Amino acid sequence: MVEQMQLASRQQAWLKHYPEGGRALSLGALRMLVDRLGIGPLRPPPHRGGDAARAIESRRLRELAAQQVNVPRVLGQGRRSLMLSDNGRSLNTCLREAASDQARDALVQRAVQAIAQAHAQGAYLGQPVPRNMTFDGSRIGFIDFEEDPLEVMTLTQAQARDWLMFGYGVARYYETRPQMLQQLISEAMVRQDAQVREAAHHATTRLQRLAGVARHLGRSARRLAQAIVVIHGASALGVLVVVGLMADYFSDGDLDVLRVLLG
Ligand SMILES: Nc1ncnc2c1ncn2[C@@H]1O[C@H](COP(=O)(O)OP(=O)(O)O)[C@@H](O)[C@H]1O
Ligand SMILES: [Mg+2]
């Protein structure tokens, strides 16, 4: 739970609470599925609650700040809470309210540059979807670090995961112009470590196959398959396919995909 606060200094801040309780069982099942499908970058990290989640988020914020990534500062902490500085407006809101396609493209371009720059510093962002990104009018920022993907994958996989997450998160704004999204993302990805591109490519190839199967299953599976946005990298170096199915892997324990595939 996150609450917006105004400090006595008139500074805006956010109080984030970490309730107790995890989702060990459902995540175990999901991890098995992801392993069977060979899509390592989509392995769900452990979802801890309470003080353990707070400790991860505050450690990650320190690491990311040291890597020059624009993240909130920790203004204070309690046993199951952190007080964070305001990092700007939600990128999701900015994208939704963008006055034109051009304005939206410009924001997405800044966002992909921010991700690429973070990666160049050796950082990984975990869940860089627009609701976990901010824009303060000049800089893109990142929030929400209570899960650490590096607990269950390599840095290369974690950086590949960032692109899959981002692509999935912004795809809804590009339903009628997927080529433009493809272009914006591939411009940044061509400068990435080749291994990261390969990991993203491998995962999305697997997901594409899965989507093909889902298309032949029931109505909800077809809907999932239809939600797939394919971003086919124009570059000779890499192909990135972003798949709507990923929603189910990440939408906080929602196991629609498991239900579709297993019964
Ligand atoms: N430091 C911050 N600066 C700006 N907005 C924030 C900040 N922290 C949280 N928010 C807002 O609160 C929402 C939820 O915070 P988040 O850290 O993503 O928690 P959750 O784990 O509940 O997703 C974000 O999507 C964002 O709109
Ligand atoms: Mg969030």
Q: How far apart are CA 258 and CA 173, in angstroms?
A: 26
Please name the residue whose Cα sits nearest to atom 19 of ligand 1. Answer: 144
Q: Nearest-5° angle of CA 164, CA 166, CA 167?
A: 65
Q: What is the pLDDT of residue 47?
A: 82
Tell me the residue range of the domain where 150 lies: 2-262
- Which residues have any ligand 1 atom within 6 Å of their CB? 2, 14, 16, 72, 84, 86-87, 90, 131-132, 134, 143-144, 146
Q: What is the pLDDT of residue 216?
A: 62
Positive/negative CA dihedral, 24, 27, 29, 31: negative
Considering every ligand atom shown, identify the ligand nearest to the alpha carbon of residue 4 and give its number: 1
Element housing 115 (H / E)? helix 101-120
Distances (CA, A) of 17 to 144, 146, 163: 12, 11, 28
Q: What is the pLDDT of residue 204?
A: 76
* Nearby residues for ligand 2 (ion, Cβ within 5 Å): 132, 144
Q: Which residues of the chain have pLDDT under 70?
A: 22-27, 29-30, 208, 210-263
Q: What is the pLDDT of residue 188?
A: 87
Distances (CA, A) of 195 to 48, 192, 199: 30, 8, 6
Tokens 């309210």 belong to: 97
* Cβ-based neighbour number of residue 202 at 10 Å: 16
| Domain of residue 64, CATH code | 1.10.510.10
**Two tokens at 109?**
């371009």
Q: What is the pLDDT of residue 213?
A: 64
Please name the residue whose Cα sits nearest to atom 20 of ligand 1. Answer: 144
Number of domains observed in the structure of the chain: 1
Q: What is the pLDDT of residue 196?
A: 92
Q: What is the pLDDT of residue 164?
A: 84
Give me ligand 1 centre to Cα 178, in Å: 27
Give me ligand 1 centre to Cα 195, in Å: 31
Please name the residue whose Cα sits nearest to atom 21 of ligand 1. Answer: 144
Q: What is the pLDDT of residue 67?
A: 98
Please name the residue whose Cα sits nearest to atom 18 of ligand 1. Answer: 144
Q: What is the pLDDT of residue 90?
A: 98
Question: What residues contact 125, with CB distance under 8 A and at least 6 apart?
Answer: 64, 69, 115, 118, 142, 162, 165
Q: What is the pLDDT of residue 185?
A: 87
Nearest atom, ligand 1, residue 72 CA: 1
